[in-house]
Amino acid sequence: MEYKDLLNMVKNKAQGWLSESYDTETRAQVQALLHKEDPSDLIEAFYKDLEFGTGGLRGIMGVGTNRMNIYTVGAATQGFANYLKKEFENVNPVKVVIGYDCRNNSRRFAEVSADIFSANGVKVYLFDALRPTPEISYAIRSLGCQGGIILTASHNPKEYNGYKAYWKDGAQMIAPHDRNTIAEVNKIRSASEIRFDGNKALIELLGEDLDRQYIGALTGISLSPEAIRRHRDMKIVYTPIHGTGVHIVPETLKAFGFRHIIHVPEQDVVSGDFPSVASPNPEDAAALALAVEKAKETGAELVLATDPDGDRVGVAVQNNASEWILLNGHQTALLLVYYLVTQRGAAGQMQGKGYIVKTIVTTEVIRSIAESHGVEIYDVYTGFKWIADRIQKNEGKKVYLGGGEESYGFLCEDFVRDKDGVSACAILAEIAAWAKDRGQTVFQLLQTIYATYGYSREAGLSVVKKGKSGAEAIEAMMKNYRDNPPLEIAGSKVAFIYDYARLQGYSCLDKEVLTLDMPTTSNVLQYLTEDKTKISIRPSGTEPKIKFYCEVHLPIHGVEEIPEAERIAGEKIEQIKVALGIS
């Protein structure tokens, strides 16, 4: 589209937001954008409509069709309500759960959504205060609802908010329900079509009773209560990074039997401004810095953190030199998979039907662990809705042991259908107690896993490209990687190329074209080399960036070989950056 045409289209869309259907404040803000000499902000606010990605609706807060506000949230809710009523026309009333996190406007968006659902005759269970994402998933299933939403932008910067939509199984929506909901949302062309006039008689608040039920269910997945009893005074530092885990994670740890939970007071402050961190992301060392300092002060043995909506977990442990280090998402998943597979197997809970789920970008060492214990493993796309989809397909046939992704998300139980940072914190603390029973630290347990199943080192790299021009640049980069794949990466020939957008693979060795068995297409490209290096490239579904996932494998024969393997792997990752042009 030519710039002049784009600007005219944007202005026309903005003019529609000046009608009486929009509140006075919104109209004033749109008018200000229209009068600005530089139209860049106007274009960014209106050049497209927010769409569902791997994490649902997510964007910067502000006025416009490409921003999070009561009208884009309202359109999503109205469309979702319309679809739920069509799909469950024989259910009266249709029921939904609504939750929200600590972000600015999350409570307001949740209350507006409750009004819209109820105005459409939908029964609403609205949490009375902020709650973690996994509890919303649990509540949908527990209360027999047909759907639900949570207002959250997970670990994004403070300018963002988001909207995750869930189906009756407590999982984020996939086809056809996501597409059908979007179709319903797209039918809504004006705020006048959104029913904001809530029916308070159809809105019921959820509180501590549901919390106790959720925590009670989580305690049922404990595998080593005797180890916890022996080490119940183990010091654990926990931080919610200003978010939803502030009460429920410490309460869950205590319910598991841990008695010495150490808080980080500065980060117990619930705030959408995230005052103690630049980014509320448990992947970032800076976000855990205060918790690590608290661990040093108190002599703690484990640091746990959850992101603002409580679905992802960050972990810090001490290495053999007593230095505090952060585990990456692959390492956390390795520990959880190893523990769940070995201990549930020892408890006779697998019945020969156990399985693990991981995403295609998560470490392949998980495959080695699963296969060595006779456990089936499934690869799915990034986005926890695909792990939930596999659980749904296997329900009643096989035994779910656990599933995770490299982005710090894991699910230990099957009565929740989204990643669960609450249960992950509890089981990781249990792993620390279990390892201590065996004379090991968590770090030493991880080294033992590497020595047994092979060493891997992973690096997640991102190139940020903001706005419309950024989206176009990312599209051009993906096209170039497809059309001009490297023949060699870090000294090893490329053996396979997997293009999930075409569901097609290619063997560079025997020139054979392969068909990829996945439920739908996804804009992901993978290179696999002869030395088992795996590189995955995809645009983010929730952020303005293109992501690169690098995994290097090295065979080792003992823990003593890990330092040299780390050095070699680090060099190879630098070579990969050069090969991909992102150094």
Q: Which residues are catalytic?
A: 154
Phi-psi map region of 412: left, alpha, beta (phi>0 left; psi -120 to 50 alpha): alpha
CA distance linking residue 494 with residue 490, whole number of Å: 10
Residue written as token pair 């049922």: 220
Q: Strand 57-60 relative to strand 95-100: parallel, antiparallel, unpaired?
A: unpaired
Please, where are the H alpha helices in 347-441? Answer: 365-372, 384-394, 421-437
Question: Within the chain, how many helices (H) and strands (E) appear?
Answer: 18, 23
Instruction: Find, among 453, 450, 454, the residue nearest to 369 by Cα.
Output: 453
Amino acid type, 508: C
In angstroms, the Cα distances linking 42 to 4, 8, 66, 190 are: 14, 11, 10, 18
- DSSP character string of 132-178: -HHHHHHHHHHTT-SEEEEE--TTS-TTEEEEEEEETTSSB--TTHH
DSSP reduced 3-state for 268: coil
Question: Residue 506 is encoded by which pair of tokens?
Answer: 């290619």
Report the amino acid identity of residue 551. Answer: E
303 Cα distance to chain centroid = 20
Query: Measured in whole angstroms, how far is the alpha carbon of residue 233 from the centre of its chain?
Result: 31
Query: If you search the block for the tokens 């079509």, which residue do you land on?
Result: 193
Up-side HSE of residue 562: CA atoms within 13 Å toward CB? 19
Strands 160-167 and 57-60: antiparallel
Unique residue bearing structure tokens 């086809």: 175
Phi, psi (deg, nearest 5) at residue 560: -65, -15
DSSP 70-98: HHHHHHHHHHHHHHHHHHTTT-SS-EEEE
Dist. CA 534–CA 551, nearest whole Å: 5
